[in-house]
Structure 1
Amino acid sequence: MDRRSFISKAGLASAGAVAATTLAAPAIAQSNPKVTWRLASSFPKSLDTIYGGAETLSKFLSEATDSNFTIQPFAAGELVPGLQAADAAAAGTVEACHTVGYYYWGKDPVWALGAAVPFSLNARGMNAWHYHGGGIDLFNEFLETQGLFGLPGGNTGVQMGGWFRKEINSVDDLKGLKFRVGGFAGKVLETLGVVPQQLAGGDIYPALEKGTIDAAEWVGPYDDEKLGFQKVAPYYYYPGWWEGGPTVHFMFNKGKYEELSPAYKSLLRTACQAADADMLQKYDYVNPAAVKRLVAGGAQLRPFSPEILSACFDASNKVYDEMEASNEPFKKIWGSIKDFRKEHYLWAQIAEYNYDTFLMIQQRNGKL
């Protein structure tokens, strides 16, 4: 091949490559259209772990689409109050929210079932039920009636029982207690004499400091330390039996979600599941150091007595019986959770429980 022929053919090949690139660009643009959403969070920015779930979702989506699918998170109060995030997404004021279903239980107790209810599943159990036990689909049957589509977007693990100004040793000590508690755990506690209060995260400390409330639960050591509850209520109780494995949700305006391409819907599911896992992983990492700092700073750890736990368990079952008798969607979803709960704890007590218990004994004996 002579030099002139080679240059001529090379030029044709180069022109063909340029043409192919030019033709491909519109196809890529069509498969990766520009989508810009706003997300209302129920959480303040200071709680980097739970608020950070929305930032994690935004990051994953932006990176996977060359910034063509973006979700901009706004902290509680920036666009709407924290406890109105789902309402804003349903109304189309924003396209998405990051919230916890039990915040809205007052409208219908079914809201709480996708998140956490007293003496339900732990975090691993909730994840198993959501992803493999039909929980996501069951909860979305309900959310569709609210104009929403939801996907799990985080889990804190079993929470602490909260901060109390005085020791709580018996059921009688609960009577008259003004307690900030989320979800319809308040309804259960009310039957035992508690006066439940529902406040957004940023409003809890001033209410506890001023004595407007006597006790408050939030999440766990890492987040509680940030909010400074140990400064105004020394007794730190556990476990938070009303939130054994609370699922935080990303909820999307149903119409806006349906407008997404199949590729974006798939990507959104993947990114939500990644953000969901990331939150629990981070809490598991940061809570151990936080609880040690709290105790060193004067927090006094206290377990709820067996008497209190048993009374609360029995009271919860009575509330569930009433709700199942009057609310068919509640009965359907709670029935699914209860059926799996039996199997989950049957298995959990065999290998996992014994493995963990043995290592906990070694830790207490200073051998780890």
Structure 2
Amino acid sequence: MDRRSFIKTAGIGSAGAAAASTLGAPAIAQARTPMVIVSSWPRDLPGLGTGAQRLAVRIEELTDGAIATEYYAAGERVGAFDVFDAVSSGNAQAYHSTDYYWKGVHPAWSYITTVPFGLNYVEQNAFIHWMGGQELWDELGEQYDIKGFLAGNNGVQMGGWFNKEVNGPDDFRGLRMRIPGIGGDMMANMGVSIVTLSGGQIFENLISGAIDATEFIGPWNDFFLNLHQAARYYYWPGVHEPGAAMSLGVNKSWLTALPAWQQAAIEAACHEENDRMTAEFNANNGLYLSRLVNDHGVQLRRFNPEIYDAFGAAAEQTFDEIRQHSDLANRMHEAFLHARREVGGWMNIADVAYLQERNRVLGLE
């Protein structure tokens, strides 16, 4: 698909192009600056892959071509988990990924993406933009010459795919499960054997029996990875990733050398994609859940309270380990707790209470 066709299919209309032309006017007299963007997603994977590709197109649009983006999906230039090093070293200008993949570098990266019993999309935006999250992110990124921007979110995830039913905490012991981030550490504290795999490797490992269970995202993405052909039981609600944020991590030395208006255009494109991707996931997940259940016989199962209580205990054990890592990790966790308490408390009075009553009245419970 050529770039012009992709713009049309991505829903970028003439109004957006006109706005881009206005913002990008200063670029007419300037040379084109290449921007290599590497990602952790398979090419054209709905939501993640297409969203990252759309962001690359939008950056070029908003700068009227002054920044010439070159997008590479996972494995096309570097591996899915190698994008951080590529950008930190300056071998690429930006990555689109989830920052919890770098928790082995520093555990504070996990809070930029998501943690168990963490923040949903609305809460995460408040945390990053208005409650000190961006400042802590900048402090963390400074050590690796990376400036990060929120650039997408896939919302509350499903609990995962399992080859057998799990009826209590003991059923998790010995399971081989693909699950990244702090959610993986939580599961390890429940006796799960954690396996690290990129999205493109999950199906083959699940269907071969190399793993017993996996999480990925939700019905829309999971459908296109054919996970329903490899496992029977689909559990909810997910606890490990209640609002996984995507990041555009940009090499800071490269970024700050750009004219200020081009830096602003990159940030604006990220703001757009952060909103657009979440809306797209919400528009598609319900449809594809129905298809999985009605057309493919997927068995939905809900984690029971005993399992959720065990998740809570394992998550707290994991958080204690993180806080002991460093002062920055502890400050990141404290800021996260403040956001969860303040924003979550308000949402309980507003959003949660309203949805409960709306669904009760309309019979949607």
Whether TM exceeds 0.5 here: the answer is: yes
RMSD: 1.6
SS at match of 1:60: helix
Contact 2:46/2:220, CA 8 A, preserved across alignment: no
| Post-superposition offset of 1:207 | 0.2
Which protein is bigger by CA-based radius of gyration? 1
Q: Name the CA distance, whole Å, in 2 between partners of 1:354 and 1:32.
A: 53
Cα distance change of structure 1 residues 365 and 98 upon mapping to structure 2, 3 Å threshold: closer
What stretches of structure 2 of length at least 5 have no aligned partner? 1-24
Contact 2:39/2:73, CA 8 A, preserved across alignment: yes
Cα distance change of structure 1 residues 263 and 312 upon mapping to structure 2, 3 Å threshold: same
Matched, 1:164 2:162: yes
| Post-superposition offset of 1:151 | 0.4
- 1:22 counterpart residue number: none
Cα distance change of structure 1 residues 354 and 177 upon mapping to structure 2, 3 Å threshold: same
Contact 1:225/1:294, CA 8 A, preserved across alignment: yes
SS at match of 2:349: coil
TM-score, normalised to structure 2's length? Answer: 0.90
Q: Name the CA distance, whole Å, in 2 between partners of 1:53 and 1:137.
A: 25
SS at match of 2:152: strand
Q: Name the CA distance, whole Å, in 2 between partners of 1:328 and 1:346.
A: 27
- 1:354 counterpart residue number: 353
Q: Which of 199, 204, 207 is the equivalent residue of 1:206? A: 204
Between 171-180 and 182-191, the greater mean CA deviation after superposition:
182-191
Aligned-pair identity in percent equals 33
Q: Which of 287, 293, 303 is the equivalent residue of 1:295? A: 293
Cα distance change of structure 1 residues 336 and 54 upon mapping to structure 2, 3 Å threshold: same
- 1:319 counterpart residue number: 318
Q: Name the CA distance, whole Å, in 1 between partners of 2:322 and 2:93.
A: 31
Q: Name the CA distance, whole Å, in 2 between partners of 1:326 and 1:251.
A: 23
| Post-superposition offset of 1:365 | 5.6
1:70-124 alpha-carbon deviations (Å, 9 max, x no partner): 2221110000111111111111121111011111212221121111111111111
- 2:330 counterpart residue number: 331
- 1:255 counterpart residue number: 253
Contact 1:149/1:251, CA 8 A, preserved across alignment: yes
1:250-282 alpha-carbon deviations (Å, 9 max, x no partner): 001121111111111111111111111110010
| Post-superposition offset of 1:363 | 5.0
Residues 237-252 of structure 1: pairs in structure 2 closer than 5 A: 237-252=235-250
- 1:8 counterpart residue number: none
SS at match of 2:82: helix
> Letter of the aligned partner of 2:319 in structure 1?
Y
| Post-superposition offset of 1:28 | 3.9
1:137-165 alpha-carbon deviations (Å, 9 max, x no partner): 21121011012111011000010111000
Contact 2:27/2:66, CA 8 A, preserved across alignment: no
Number of positions where the alignment pairs a residue of Structure 1 with one of Structure 2: 340
Question: 4+ runs of 1 displaced by more than 6 Å?
Answer: none
Q: Name the CA distance, whole Å, in 2 between partners of 1:323 and 1:314.
A: 15
Between 221-230 and 69-78, the greater mean CA deviation after superposition:
69-78
Q: Name the CA distance, whole Å, in 2 between partners of 1:85 and 1:213.
A: 25
Contact 2:237/2:302, CA 8 A, preserved across alignment: yes
Cα distance change of structure 1 residues 32 and 124 upon mapping to structure 2, 3 Å threshold: farther
- 1:66 counterpart residue number: 64
> Letter of the aligned partner of 2:177 in structure 1?
F
What stretches of structure 1 of length at least 5 have no aligned partner? 1-26
Cα distance change of structure 1 residues 182 and 336 upon mapping to structure 2, 3 Å threshold: same
| Post-superposition offset of 1:30 | 7.2
